[in-house]
Structure 1
């Protein structure tokens, strides 16, 4: 997930929400200076709004969960319903030999696209730390993003090949696979379909930005380069799914589907 620069913490979220341009000098809503347009969104209010959006409540084990009747769940239901219609149409076109000889495929990000990290974000006050994140991923106990196990299985039933394209590290593969299986996503979890970031031994198709000596790929370069590789294997990516715009940019997909995530931003 945190595969490049991550705008972490609530202060950054407030800056994005409030449309603020930061600069030197003090300013307020009543006395803006030349470097600001308005007072930023209040951090305490933003925290409450995020929790309300997810309908966030703690279960018996103290784990923060998204409520099935939340605005977040409603938004996810709308996106997944649209995606199912698109997948169904693409599958029918392919069976009718309208796919130009290429096999239809879908590509999913993992973090907050398939596996929900809400508990981590709330308990760390929306501040990323590589060590605590690694521990969290290794526990392999994240819940599914609402509706996504069904969406993955729907694509597979329609004859659309499922791939995964994640910013998780290669060293986190075991935890990712275990967690996906736990939530009912047990489709194509082999290394040929689940692509993770291998900075020590980057694949040849990323040679423009990564070598064994140095990894210089941005999120967009890594993700789009991987999609390009998938398409070079004879697939047509009919749907690309992610919670970050950087998951979706760079081409090599007929359609993109943005899942909601107001808790962090990855460039």
Structure 2
């Protein structure tokens, strides 16, 4: 039998140590997730791994392409008719899109929250954005480039903060998004004093100079500031029936959004357990007769 030399022993010891540390890290992550069950789990698993989600999103971009074609050739077509100036039919066409979970896919950040047993924080979110590792939604880059070729300017109206704008811009350019057509097409939260998390002022900024033929988003707030309780949200949804699927395209996002906070009155000061209890209470459930 060959006597093991010192370098071989060292390599073996290093490999064993590495394996042990890796196993320990996995155990820590598993214990963190088990100790802090996260409501993001199934939603993130579906959005990250399922072909059903990818097919759904790609289908929405196919619909958006068809609707953009229709809107491009109909000068009376507008997704924001109340905001458009007189004679808006002569304005150049534009599309307003949200970024996160509409054009950009942040499932790796959500997976980090689950595996680390942590909740969302602006600090870790900013670190993630600055790392510029965000991916593109299936079909998003292709849709954006289609619009550019048709002479349609896409405005990315996002609630990513002003301080993260440059990193977001670089990330999106690297993914192949056309960030052209106007001096500034990435409109971030806080970029101007009145550009708050409510997007109306930014929508008005675009609508004053462009005919907005289409809007894409994953949250009610991407289309209208009217929100509130679940009952009020339902009323807003019903009041805008003519828009859905025509010039307002809603993307699927079961991970987060105003649908969740509406269930507990937007009171984020409640503990995770209290918020979960309120969400469960908001569910309408079938009950067996016996």
Cα distance change, pair 231–190 in 1 and its aligned pair in 2 (3 A): closer
1:100 match: secondary structure? helix
The aligned residue for residue 241 of structure 1 is 216
Cα distance change, pair 85–116 in 1 and its aligned pair in 2 (3 A): same
Matched, 1:73 2:54: yes
CA-based RMSD of the aligned residues comes to 2.9
Count of aligned pairs: 194
| Aligned residues of 1:241 and 1:259 also touching (Cα < 8 A) | yes
The aligned residue for residue 14 of structure 1 is none
Question: Which one of the candidate residues 11, 25, 46 is aligned to 1:53?
Answer: 46
Structure with larger Rg: 2
User: How many Å apart are 1:50 and its aligned residue?
Assistant: 2.2
Matched, 1:135 2:141: no
TM-score, scaled relative to structure 1: 0.64
| Aligned residues of 2:216 and 2:251 also touching (Cα < 8 A) | yes
In structure 1, distance between residues paired with 2:132 and 2:143: 21
User: How many Å apart are 1:75 and its aligned residue?
Assistant: 0.8
Cα distance change, pair 164–51 in 1 and its aligned pair in 2 (3 A): closer
| Aligned residues of 2:68 and 2:214 also touching (Cα < 8 A) | yes
The aligned residue for residue 226 of structure 1 is 202
Please list every run of at least 4 consecutive aligned residues from structure 1 whose deviation after the TM superposition is greater than 4 angstroms.
43-48
TM-score, scaled relative to structure 2: 0.60
Matched, 1:192 2:184: yes
- 1:178-231: per-residue Cα shift (whole Å, max 9, x none)? 1101211033286522111126x51xxx3xxx7xxxxxx4x3xx3122111111
Matched, 1:165 2:141: no
Cα distance change, pair 143–49 in 1 and its aligned pair in 2 (3 A): same
Matched, 1:88 2:81: no
User: How many Å apart are 1:241 and its aligned residue?
Assistant: 1.1
In structure 2, distance between residues paired with 1:80 and 1:154: 11
**What stretches of structure 1 of length at least 5 have no aligned partner?**
1-42, 57-66, 211-216
Mapping of residues 197-208 of structure 1, within 5 Å: 197-198=189-190, 201-202=192-193, 206=194
| Aligned residues of 1:113 and 1:259 also touching (Cα < 8 A) | yes
